[in-house]
Amino acid sequence: MQILIVEDSNTSRMYLEEVLKDITQNLDANIESAASGEEALKKVQRKWLKGVPCELIFMDIILPGMDGLQTLEKIRALENEKRIPEEKKIKAIMTTALDDSTKASRAFFQCEAISYITKPITAEKIQMELSKFGMI
């Protein structure tokens, strides 16, 4: 499983990496991270070119430069441009400190996120979400 964590906080990024390593240890997961939306977009495109596309993204909403919602909208536009079938599109879980219904609605409807997790993020929350969508 190819996983990308997009989080500008180094501490949060390292925490998510460790939690995901534990949860996915039996899945031969490759976990990468990015600190900005621009960096995430480049990594997603590079992985497509290498033939190992991302399957799951944990995307923080508040990022420097291009925010997480804008980044995911650009990823969706690229997927549509490449005519990637729905079942092969990257599964996105939005992470945020904001409990904002407007941003949550945008994440689900415009960005096609499968989940929206508010911080503090726990291993249990992540495990529950991944189980809910049959990813673990």
Q: Could you read off the pLDDT tens digit of each residue along the chain, which spans 136 residues? A: 999 999 999 999 999 999 999 999 888 899 999 999 999 999 999 999 999 999 999 999 999 999 999 999 999 999 999 999 999 999 999 998 877 777 778 787 777 899 989 889 999 999 999 999 888 8
* d(C-alpha 105, C-alpha 68), whole Å: 14
CA-based max dimension of the chain: 37
Per-domain residue ranges of the chain:
2-130
Is the distance from CB of 92 to CB of 126 less than 8 angstroms? no
pLDDT of amino acid 111: 79
Residue 70 neighbours by CB distance under 10 Å: 15
C-alpha distances out from residue 70 to 61, 67, 128, 132, Å: 9, 5, 26, 26
Rounded Cα gap, residues 15 and 103, in angstroms:
24
Per DSSP, 87 falls in state: G
Let me know if domain 2-130 sits in CATH 3.90.70.10. Answer: no
Q: For residue 93, what are the contacts with CB-CB under 8 A and spacing of at least 6?
A: 56, 57, 58, 59, 113, 114, 115, 116, 117, 129
pLDDT on residue 130: 93
**Residue 96 has what pLDDT?**
86
